[in-house]
Amino acid sequence: MPVVEPNVMEALLAYLRNNYAQMCRHWFNEIEFVQISQGTLTLLVKEQVRLKYLQRSCLNQFTEAAQAATGKLLAVEFVGEDERPELAEEPHAGGVYTQPDLNEEMILSPDYTFDSFVVGPDNRLAHAASLAVAQKPGKAYNPFFVHGGVGLGKTHLLQAISQMAMRMHRGMRIFYTSCNGFMTHFMEAVQAGQMADFRHRFRNFDLLIVDDIHDLSKRGPSQEEFFHTFNSLYQAGRQIVLSSDAPPNEIPDLEERLTSRFNCGLVANIERPCYETRVAIVRSKAQMRNIELPDDCAAYIASRLDSNIREMEGAITKLQGLSLLEQAPINMELCKKAIGEQDTSTPGSPTTIQDILNTISNYYGLRITDLLSKRRHKSIALPRQIGMYLARKHTRFSLGEIGGYFGGRDHTTVMHAIRSIDSRRTGDRHLDDEVRRLEELVIQTGASL
């Protein structure tokens, strides 16, 4: 006999809020208790993307919470509405059994929807076009190409398109992937001698969304394959959506024929968000996590962190953690504590590229002439790249201008440097710490002038 205990849900969610606050989302309240039967707590999640997200990322935490809430050794399962046992086994169409696998790999975040996307002057066109594309794939703008700096919302928009299109157009073949994901599929297909399969799959989507297409650069065979995929979809009137950190003609090592294809639909830029947009984004992020964030705190975070939205999100997470740890409400005092040390803007004393060059040269014991030289030895190239990265982050100079300062390099070199440091920081603690220390030094130098 199943035990029905509606209070279990309340206790379970309370446990999660106390122990895994950063994982909690406002929509967790909509998760429905189905039953506890044979040692398993079954939870119903109606929305597909949320369901997959829970299955993928939250199972352990929910299991722990279920056990804490009931005092029983329970397992947890999340089920969707159309996943009821009698519907589970759908017959496969003659041998195309790879299709479901592919969809399994489509990793979408329930955080990235149009509802949670804040529209401002800096992203209005990209947003409007995204909506149009999601509503009428293949009819509005094709291809749709969106570009902008790191952390400005490209992935968010692309995933929002995927999710809306999936909801609006049942049965439509929709696929979202990163460019690296595309290349991995391609390489695996080549190695397995299954190119026919690969082509059949990728050329049959009604809506293909490829994130971070700049990663195609320097990948000869993948570029070639992507070119053909693109053409065959395009000619069949299927929708293609791409994102990149640079406009088509500024992507290094991209063949001209691809550049011109990318340019033939709508190209929209996302700019750095202005202050008002940032405040609204901070609010939206807090709301998503069910955090009560006073207005002055939202304003403070938005004024302190102004370039990368991911940093604002990091600040909110940190604030939330601190508030739990200190059992204190979120207020300005806590806010300053949480982001004071990562305070990157010193109003009134803008950092100059010279400050950055001085700091880097002192820190690494290198001569400035070496930093500006053509030498490519690792001991110089890395500090130089960090310098460019800091220049982009802490000054208002364009990529081209930064390249000019750093020994007459062109904007693609600067872009490559920024990208490389940015991605290495995520995986390399040591480098991350080093960059952080340098940032502090740069800010101090700027402030003491």
Positions touching ligand ADP (CB under 6 A) are: 111-112, 116-118, 123, 148, 150-156, 281, 284, 309-310, 313
Residue 99 found at the interface with Mg ion (CB under 5 A): no
Binding site partner of 420, from ligand ADP, Mg ion, none, Cβ cut-off 5-8 A by kind = none
Q: Which two tokens stand for residue 432?
A: 């991350």
The minimum distance between CB 115 and ligand ADP, in angstroms, equals 10
Nearer to ligand ADP, 288 or 443 (CB): 288
Nearer to ligand ADP, 115 or 197 (CB): 115
Residue 98 found at the interface with Mg ion (CB under 5 A): no
Binding site partner of 310, from ligand ADP, Mg ion, none, Cβ cut-off 5-8 A by kind = ligand ADP
The Cα–Cα gap between 394 and 383 comes to 16
Residue 361 found at the interface with Mg ion (CB under 5 A): no
Nearer to ligand ADP, 166 or 282 (CB): 282
The Cα–Cα gap between 151 and 85 comes to 41
Nearer to Mg ion, 157 or 414 (CB): 157
The minimum distance between CB 61 and ligand ADP, in angstroms, equals 20
The minimum distance between CB 53 and ligand ADP, in angstroms, equals 14
Binding site partner of 153, from Mg ion, ligand ADP, none, Cβ cut-off 5-8 A by kind = ligand ADP
Nearer to ligand ADP, 117 or 405 (CB): 117
Are 249 and 129 within 8 A, CB to CB?
Answer: no
CA atoms within 13 A on the CB side of 158: 33
Binding site partner of 335, from ligand ADP, Mg ion, none, Cβ cut-off 5-8 A by kind = none
Nearer to Mg ion, 155 or 342 (CB): 155
Q: What is the 3-state secondary structure (H, E, C) of 153-185?
A: CHHHHHHHHHHHHHHHCCCCCEEEEEHHHHHHH
CB atoms within 10 A of CB 119: 14
Are 28 and 16 within 8 A, CB to CB?
Answer: yes
With 0-12 / 13-18 / 19 or more C-beta atoms within 10 angstroms meaning exposed / middle / buried, residue 87 is exposed
Residue 155 found at the interface with Mg ion (CB under 5 A): yes
Report which secondary-structure segment, H or E, holds 108: none
Nearer to ligand ADP, 166 or 309 (CB): 309
The minimum distance between CB 262 and ligand ADP, in angstroms, equals 17
Terminal Cα distance for the chain, rounded: 75
Q: Write the CB contacts of 400 (distance below 8 Å, at least 6 apart in sequence).
A: 410, 411, 414
Tell me how far apart the 2 most distant CA atoms of the chain are, in Å.
Answer: 79
The minimum distance between CB 241 and Mg ion, in angstroms, equals 13
**CA distances (Å), origin 96, targets 93, 151, 193, 198, 369:** 6, 37, 16, 11, 60
For tokens 């929209």, name the residue.
Answer: 268
Stretch that binds Mg ion, among 147-155, 161-169, 268-276, 433-441 (CB under 5 A): 147-155
